[in-house]
Chains A and B, each alone.
Chain A
Amino acid sequence: MSAEFDTAETLDVKGASCPMPVLKTKSATDGLDPGDILEVLATDSGSMSDIDGWASGTGGVELVDQIEDGDVYRHYIRKTE
């Protein structure tokens, strides 16, 4: 499935479990410019709730979409500032 978003970067955290998907997502967004979208590929089923919670509780980022794609959870996060 190809993303319908114009992603600036893709972070692959497949296999990693809590808390690493969130920690690596945070580090990856630090390097983005405002407006950029980060795609995160994870296999941790907790990442659906965790990345949503992280994005809504953190300034400067917003969750654009989350897609369950077979065994992979795709997260799209936009850097807002």
Chain B
Amino acid sequence: MLYLRPGQVLNEPDDSGEDISVGDWPALYSALAEQAESKVLREFYAAGLPPASTPISEVPMLALDFETTGMDAEQGDIVSIGLVPMTMARIYNRDSCHWVVRPRAHLPGDSVVIHGITHSDVASSPDLNRYLQPLLSLMAGRVVVAHYRKMERNFLHHAMLQRLGEGIRFPIIDTMTLEAEITRLTFWQRLRGQKAPSLRLAEARKRYHLPFYHPHHAHTDALSCAELLQAQLITHYGPKTPVGDLWR
């Protein structure tokens, strides 16, 4: 994942694109299972979602992270994908995946510096098309988890649009949004000039005494995010919280 300076996102964590307004995700999935053009997407939507009232402890989830060519989903593309299946109780790291793909957009040098995936790495890797099927089947029936949902949502949407001619819609539990809610300052605190705590992944993890992991590797970042969600759920939400309160 690309890391934003706190100021860029801190104040608007919910500015997350088109799908913030979806009220009933399972219903949208049922509809899209009929409407989607491509077969892989129809099967993905047909797998459905747990009802919004399902306690979070019973919901299968998938932590997801992309490294990308840049910040703009319309101009850029995905370079690597990290996937880690999980529940509230356990992170199924043994079933996790990490794929490097060849972006259809230019890979600028400054992003290479961040994620360490070089031009020759991507040159010898397949196009995302190769992994669409396994990606969608891992996502099917699971609720996606990411830190700063806008990146993962927009990049996947545009990557699909470019390859299948249609985009994808799915709810995301955003650990950054959760952390913003958890650490939100009261009116009085803000009035007294207290600084809002950092929402960056590494900083958020520290608050739960999670160990330091080296950032900017899609699998490690997905794993970091998965551990953070477990810690957040256990510490602040509890197993009975309906998944509908958490996904957007």
A binds B: no
| Residues in chain A within 8 A of chain B (CB atoms) | none
